[in-house]
Structure 1
Amino acid sequence: MNSLEGQFLIAMPDMQDENFAQSVILVVGHGSEGAMGLVVNQELADLRFADILDELDLGDPDAVIRLPDSIRERTVMRGGPVEKGRGFVLHTSDYVSGNSYRVGDDVCLTATLDVLKAMAFGPAPKSSLLALGCCGWSPGQLEDEIARNGWLTAPFSRELVFETPVEQRYEAALASLHITRASLSSDVGHA
């Protein structure tokens, strides 16, 4: 199978694993050693960006308090069930540090504190998404799950990750393939 890096995985509606039900995952790495991805459509309900800044002591507390609400109240995504305490930032390629990994033409991944400081205090990437945790597959595991009809694949869309409201990303990802949840449901046509 060709590398799926830089593409989306869309969970089929009958996905049984609660970690992945109705999830949209951006594959950030895929090769002979396995695959890694980040869920881009599941928020952590009780955690905001300012909480992360406080927890990691990434700025003077007074400076963090003075940040605009648009920065302080940014959502934090549940990136996946692996390494739940580790942060990963997907961001546009206008911000690049020595620690950034290019996932696609217009998106990079950075997992170091410098990007969090930039998101808070500048110069920030034009668009970014912070996730805690990631998804991981051993060699051949993702390919097997796709072959067993667990996932659909879709091309990357910058708009889906950075502009589409979180609660609309699953349907938007399906729509990018010109399908709907109802057209995939195993219950369609049953009265």
Structure 2
Amino acid sequence: MSHRKIEHLNDNRIIYRRLPVSDKPSHSFDWGYFYEDGTYEFYDLFKSKALINTYKSLRWHLRVIWYLNPQLNLEEFSKLAEFIANKNNGFTTFTMPPEKLKNVIRDINKTDLEHPPNNKQRKIIFKDFTGLTLHEKLTIVGQLIGKQSEIDSSKIYESMLLINHEGKRITIKLLADILNCSTRTINRKMNDQLKQEKNILNEKI
């Protein structure tokens, strides 16, 4: 596996992580923020050790970069897209054929920058360099989300995202431990969409 050359993005001042802009946190902590009603405005690309492994995922990542970096012209964005889409640079598990990538870039260029890319809802956002261990983060998630009266799909998904971002495989037992409930409860609440997402996230580890 190639080392992800994230320094190329940093050197060129490319934004790939952005906190919510309009949504305000319900509570702020030293370690981060809690959004009781959730937010779709948090973008945090390349946080996980998992690599981009589908064309659809690559397209979404490039769309987010285009959205977060309106200062880029089409030529600059095209060069950046080629860099990210090259397997040797450590972002993907494949290299997208040049002609297909050109079509993706052309389509993204037509999108309205006023409309944000589709995104997953988040309730808990950890700051960078908190020094917290995975166990400590999972404990916080359990305290803030698991204590609420009913375990639902949004709570399960939030826990799945954290586990994945920490480079760990998602298991029913780990989800039950985080949310302080039985594995039977998790199995009962895991709808087909969550099961599919769990498999997709685990495939990237």
More helix by share: 2
Structure number with the higher strand fraction is 1
TM-score with structure 1 length normalisation?
0.29
What TM-score results when the alignment is normalised by the length of structure 2?
A: 0.28
**Structure of higher RCO (CA pairs closer than 8 Å, 6+ residues apart):** 1
